[in-house]
Amino acid sequence: MSEIVPPEVRPKPAVPAKPSHVALPSRSALLGYIGIDTIIEQMRKKTMKTGFDFNIMVVGQSGLGKSTLVNTLFKSQVSRRSTGWSRDEKIPKTVEIKSVSHVIEEGGVKMKLTVIDTPGFGDQINNENCWEPISKYINEQYEKFLKEEVNIARKKRIPDTRVHCCLYFISPTGHTLRQLDTEFMKHLSRVVNIIPIIAKSDTLTLDEKTEFKQRVRKELEACGIECYPQKEFDEDMEDKSDNDKIREAMPFAVVGSDKEYQANGKRILGRKTAWGVVEVENPNHCEFSLLRDFMIRSHLQDLKEVTHNIHYETYRAKRLNDNGGLHPISSGQDTQESNLTFCMDTPCLCE
């Protein structure tokens, strides 16, 4: 009896197949060196001259180490609290949006980093709809970019204030997500790239941390919340493989510190405890290095592209469809920037 060979299972194509009558371009053999491979170097030089923008938002209750973690990520005092915050500052009665920008340079590459803080979030007795000011701010930045795009005399380089990444800080309770956590991520994951992290994870034992991470992943899945990187945006099998590892590691259990200590003959960033030093960049102690490598060293450009090609385009299409298109704005017309302090009780801006 002949052996039955099962049919070959092929992966579903990511994009529709081209019509049969469309001929694919043939690959011609070059007779000599042209130099098309130098385009990468040309792009690198141009980027080094102009630099680029990266806007990161931090959201979470007070006391979870948001400012410290951002300073640790970029190894400099870039958070709002590092540049003029007073310890006498009281917790605001409403959710406020405050930002601070810095130009940081490494290896000749300049990056304008803007850190957007949300003091007052989750700190009230009644936190109902406290994500609305944040959602409104994110959409305002899309609107500002859209208006610049439809200008008759458009700027050569449109200032980009859109939020590329939102770090959401989860309290290390070891139990479950709060309703506020799930409601925030459910509403905001539609408009911005959310990366959930467990703050101050050194307060949990290894077993508690593992169980808490698994519980959080199950809750996010049950609520239909898809954090960055979203599965639907995986471009190929290599992307899917890399991103699956990231998704399995979420939420990142991190520890932040901008203080240095001596350990094993070298200076390290860490948190000193009664039983030793928690090394921030040691993967055996926490997942800070995994978060940093993912967010900055491998996916920073993708965060910007998903913001532009997915979230902004979704907003742009809806905005143009709802209003029948935007009329071009003349170069002489001044646009008034809104106040960045929002009311909790009403969806409008404070004047």
Q: At what angle do helices 313-323 and 132-149 cross, to 10 degrees?
A: 80
Q: What is residue 301's predicted lDDT score, i.e. its pLDDT? A: 94
- DSSP E strand stretches across 274-331: 276-279
Share of the chain above pLDDT 90, in %: 55
DSSP track, 181-247: HHHHHHHHTTTS-EEEEETTGGGS-HHHHHHHHHHHHHHHHHTT--PSSPGGG--SHHHHHHHHHHH
Question: Which residues touch 14 (CB under 8 Å, ≥6 apart)?
Answer: 235, 236
Q: How far apart are CA 143 and CA 300, in angstroms?
A: 23
pLDDT for residue 341 is more than 90: no
Q: What pLDDT digit, counting tens, does each position of 215-226 carry?
A: 999 999 999 999
Q: How far apart are CA 228 and CA 48, in angstroms?
A: 27
Q: What is residue 161's predicted lDDT score, i.e. its pLDDT? A: 96
Q: What pLDDT digit, counting tens, does each position of 286-326 carry?
A: 999 999 999 999 999 999 999 999 999 999 999 989 876 66
Q: How far apart are CA 270 and CA 278, in angstroms?
A: 5
Q: What pLDDT digit, counting tens, does each position of 134-143 carry?
A: 999 999 999 9
pLDDT for residue 164 is more than 60: yes
